[in-house]
Amino acid sequence: MAHISVDDANAWLEATKLDLTASDLDADLELQVSTQILNRLGIVFDVSGWSTRETTPRLVRSIIAMEYVAWVYDKTYADNEDANSYAALLRQHVEANITGLMAGNITLPEVDPNPAQDTSEPVFFPNDASSANEPSMDFPSDGPPAFMMGTVF
């Protein structure tokens, strides 16, 4: 199912140049664009439930629509020798929004960040023993601590 509607795409189109109808929405292109964007956001968010327009957050729909429209402009005006500046502007907005979402500077009010990313405890030694090194000839001081606070000798 599509993540955006014709109205989502038309919001970013210049009506005097292009105006999409329901039959104009290229399902294959929309799938490619939405897959790429959702895969990038999947690093920070649980996107498994974002399978339709209704379940996809509004800002994410807007990002998908901007990227989709940028590709539509590029495909429509591919014969022009100059790069399409409006498509480039839309892509800049897409990148800024994705970067902001991934950095946590922009939030999605409809969803919580990925619960698998618990930031309440640091994830490095000594809380995460997987980063503890074993003593070696080059670094003999590596290894478990020689003493701990509160330990009586």
Chain segment 90-138, per-residue pLDDT in tens: 999 999 999 999 988 898 988 865 555 555 565 555 555 555 567 666 6
Q: Tell me what pLDDT residue 130 has.
A: 54
Which amino acid appears at position 139 of this protein?
F
What is the distance between the alpha carbons of residues 81 and 77, in angstroms, rounded to a whole number? 9
Residue 108: count of CB within 10 angstroms of its CB: 15
Q: In this model, does residue 60 exceed pLDDT 90? A: yes
Chain segment 4-51, per-residue pLDDT in tens: 988 998 899 888 777 787 667 888 999 999 999 999 999 988 899 999
